[in-house]
Structures are given as structure tokens and as C-alpha cells.
Amino acid sequence: MQQPPLPICPDVMSKISLILLICFPFIAASCYNYGYYQHPMQSITAYRNIPLKSDSLRSATYLSGSIIGGVANHSWRDEILGFSGSIHRAHVLGDLQFHYGLNGTIGKYRASDYSFHGLFQFENENLNPTLIDSLNGTKFFGSYGFGGGINWVKATEKVEARIIGIEFNWQHEWDNDYHAFRNKLPIDAANLIDYRRNYSSIAVTSEFIWRLTRNRGGYKASVGIMIPGADYYNTNKDKRKVYPGFLSQTAHVEMGKFLYYGQLTFGYRVANMHVGINYRLR
């Protein structure tokens, strides 16, 4: 004989309802759509090789190139793919190292749409998905700029410690599809829109390099912040100013005149990875 279903205790139902009531605001808040359209060079910095303090080489010139893949915007909904090339000069002077150089970057930014939101997905009051969806798609971008830095170095027979360094990066975005896309969006169409062509950042770095049997391996960490202009605001009601920061980690190995590296960077509403090569000319 089939047993009748057990009744659910009213106290249990009350507790379940209370839990759902408490959790719902957090679930709903996490499912809001936001829009953040920043400069394409946000948090993109290439690795630059420098001669070791223990080397007989005091100065060197390098060519470098890297492939960049990344994601951006809220929930990393947009995609970035590009190539960066540069030439830089590096010097060793006692316990100090200097580097400076020029670079250029080309790539594409795929602005995805907001057309389908699904269950528990909402629009916030600072987003115009209809306008964005009418303009989005694959947008090409390009920039050029310069950068440099200085390190304080201590070395042993096996390890070189670039204990602390300061690096500066400046980029200028030329006329391109992605810049035009951002300029077509009014300030209240998304939560943050960077209309500028110039991007600059400053970072504090630390790096360790180990001498292997025939080659060298190293690890570098960087913590930086974008230097925004007066118009770099989050367009929510409070109009608060935004200072986008980033954290970068680089692993590399040097073989003769070639240095190969991989770099992973997480920034404000953006993440990217570099795979690149530095080649020493002389």
C-alpha cells in the first residue's frame, strides 16, 4: 500500500522562505547587467628585458613582440585580441637599471550584446542596452606610445633580485572603430565610458632571476594604477571618480639572445594574457 506523502512542517517552510528572502537580493544584485567601455590599452604592458648586473654587458637594445588575448567589461563579456611590438634600450649602472622605449599595438575588441538576459537578469538605470546593441560588434583599435622604468638591484652568484622598480607607460589611441564606438555612446548609456585617446599608468615592480645551468629563468610581479583624467568617472548616481588598478605576473626564460615570456594581468573590469619574445640586437 502506497504511503501518503509526509506533510511539510510549517516551521520548515517558514525557514526556507526566510532563507530565500535573505538570499534573493544577493542573487538579483549579481545578475544585473553593467557596461564598462575603457581604453583598449587598459592594463596592457609588455615585458622588457634588461642585462643582468652580473653580466659584462652594460647596455643593450632589444626588439620584442607579443600576442595579446583578453576579456573585458562586466562579467568579462567582451573579447580582446591583438599584437604588440616594441624597441627598447636598457642600461646597468651600479645597483640601478634603466630601460626606455617605443611600442605600437593593433587589435580588435568584440563588444558583445545585451539582447538576451534570461532568468534573474536585470538592467540597471545607467545602461542603455538597446543603443549598445545597435552599435556593438567587432571593433578594430590601434595605439602607439612609450614607456620606461628604473630598478634597484642586488645580486649574488646564482640570483639577481630587482628588489623594487618603478615603471611608467603612456599610450595614444589613433582614429579607429573602437574609439568611434565609445564616442557614439552618451555618458548615460553605460556605467563607465572612457572617451579619451590617451592612457597612462604607473606601477611598482619586483623581480627575481635565477641563473640555470645554461639559461636563465625569472618571475616578475607588478602592481599598478591608471592615471585618469578629470573625466574618468563611474556614471552611477554618485559620479565617483575611478582609479583603475591592475596586478600583473610574468614568468620568463632567457636562452642566448632570446627571452620568452608569458604574462597574466588582472585589472579593473579586464584581464589579459601576453605570450611574447624579446630579442637582443647587441
pLDDT tens profile 14-29: 645 555 455 444 444 4
> Using 50, 70 and 90 to split pLDDT, how confident is the model at 121?
very low
Query: Residue 199 pLDDT more than 80?
Result: yes
132, three cell numbers: 549598445
> Using 50, 70 and 90 to split pLDDT, how confident is the model at 236?
low
Report H helices in the chain.
10-30, 129-135, 177-183
pLDDT tens profile 29-61: 446 778 999 999 988 989 999 999 888 899 999
Residue 76 and residue 55: Cα distance in Å, rounded?
43
pLDDT at 66: 97
CB-count exposure of residue 106 (10 Å: 0-12, 13-18, 19+): middle
pLDDT tens profile 239-267: 667 778 999 999 999 999 999 999 999 99
How many residues in total does the chain contain?
Answer: 282
Please give the backbone phi and psi of residue 272, each rounded to the nearest 5 degrees, phi first. Answer: -150, 160
pLDDT at 27: 40
> Using 50, 70 and 90 to split pLDDT, how confident is the model at 228?
confident
> Which CA distances in Å does 269 have to 35, 41, 52, 215, 262?
10, 13, 35, 37, 21
Lowest mean pLDDT among 3-12, 126-135, 144-153, 232-241: 3-12
CATH number of 10-36+47-113+122-280: 2.40.128
Query: Residue 126 pLDDT more than 80?
Result: no
CB-count exposure of residue 79 (10 Å: 0-12, 13-18, 19+): middle
Top pLDDT among 12 and 225 is at: 225
Residue 6 and residue 174: Cα distance in Å, rounded?
70
Lowest mean pLDDT among 72-76, 84-88, 202-206, 227-231: 227-231
Asked whether the beta carbons of 38 and 79 are under 8 A apart, the reply is no
pLDDT at 180: 96
Query: Residue 125 pLDDT more than 70?
Result: no
Q: What does DSSP say about strands 32-33 and 122-123: parallel, antiparallel, or unpaired? A: parallel
pLDDT at 242: 76
> Using 50, 70 and 90 to split pLDDT, how confident is the model at 214?
confident
pLDDT at 120: 43
**In this prediction, what percent of the chain has a pLDDT beyond 70?**
81
> Using 50, 70 and 90 to split pLDDT, how confident is the model at 118?
very low
For the chain, helix (H) and strand (E) counts, in that order, are: 3, 14
Top pLDDT among 136 and 25 is at: 136
Return mean pLDDT, the chain.
86
Smallest Cα–Cα separation from 247: which of 222, 272, 219? 222
Query: Residue 187 pLDDT more than 60?
Result: yes
Smallest Cα–Cα separation from 208: which of 52, 14, 4? 52
